[in-house]
Amino acid sequence: MAGFPRSVTIMASVALMALSVSACAGVSPSPSPSATQSSGVRGVSMVVAGLSRTPVPQPNVRIAVHESDLAGAVVAMTTADAHGAFKVDLTPGRYTIVQVFGGAVPKTVTIRPGQYASVKLIIQGK
């Protein structure tokens, strides 16, 4: 700022810095895409029964989600809908999905950020 006294130049610089800081006040950095994306497991509970031996949806079955394997803590519970479908939001990691009652073979899945693993829990009926 040529031609202005030094004190005016310093005050103008301070004022510009204050405006820059206040313009940024209340604005937080944008979250990374992975921080806002959901992840978990989607699945269907089914039973193989009857003469056709074709798997059919098993509705209203309780589903447990264990951390790591069946010896791990239960971190979530859900109930399959009328079509046997279920969905559980989970943080990335390794989980074992199992029906609470029913006898389906447990499924172990690895959940990655922003992705849903798919599983079929199938009971071999009579």
Domains of the chain, with CATH numbers?
A: 38-124 (2.60.40.10)
pLDDT at 28: 38
**CA dihedral (96, 78, 86, 102) positive or negative:** positive
The encoded tokens of residue 108 equal 């172990």
pLDDT at 101: 85
Residue ranges in the chain whose pLDDT is less than 70: 1-36, 126
Q: What is the pLDDT of residues 97-126, one digit of tens each?
A: 999 987 789 999 999 999 999 999 998 876
Q: What is the pTM of this model?
A: 0.68
pLDDT at 6: 53
pLDDT at 26: 44
pLDDT at 52: 82
Q: Are residues 111 and 92 in contact, defined by beta-carbon separation less than 8 angstroms?
A: yes
pLDDT at 114: 96
